[in-house]
Structure 1
């Protein structure tokens, strides 16, 4: 693990994560891995995915930037993958192509579940803040 990855992991170790068991596995390098660790997205992840999803397209008024919803979804999913088995390198869209269709659908399903859980947690925190009550603190 690089120094940068170690710093990042310490900084974001409190983020919500979920481990998924793959039915078919995915080959990364010379090994086939059967687990994926997903993490919640950061604002930086969403910004980076949006920028990576922009394309210049021609319109009647000239050239404009357009964001592809498909690319946005793929880039955000790739950024949510913390590790694949013991492979903890950066995952990109080309790596997502390596997954079996059923495993890819499983990844998408669990990524959406994780996003929903994080959103619900934020909404709960907002309810506590709005009522003047004390926020609940997570145990370490």
Structure 2
């Protein structure tokens, strides 16, 4: 049996994935440009290599060397870690959306001999039937 699928879940996932990719690339680009600018300013003696670095009245580094080292290493790694967590989150949403879309087409994949338990109060607190179906599929 063939089912016509709705690819909204995939489109939403792809859009979020592209946003994450772009955030990563733009941020890494800005890190590189900042490192380059700081090195140029040190070479041109615009800033001293012992000078504190501030942004919007906040101290962000005790020296140009500290910030360039952090931008090239620590901050880039922290960015990747944060975006990886975000990617896992959008993948979870994608799988949930796919299951919901699939449930609109057929319940065959959800048929099981195992009993499922839901609290009556939890189901009664949901006012919309589709929301109950979504909640059951999600669980």
Report if TM-score (shorter chain) is over 0.5: no
Bigger RCO (CA 8 Å, 6+ sep): 2
Larger gyration radius, structure 1 or structure 2: 2
- The TM-score with structure 1 as length reference comes to 0.31
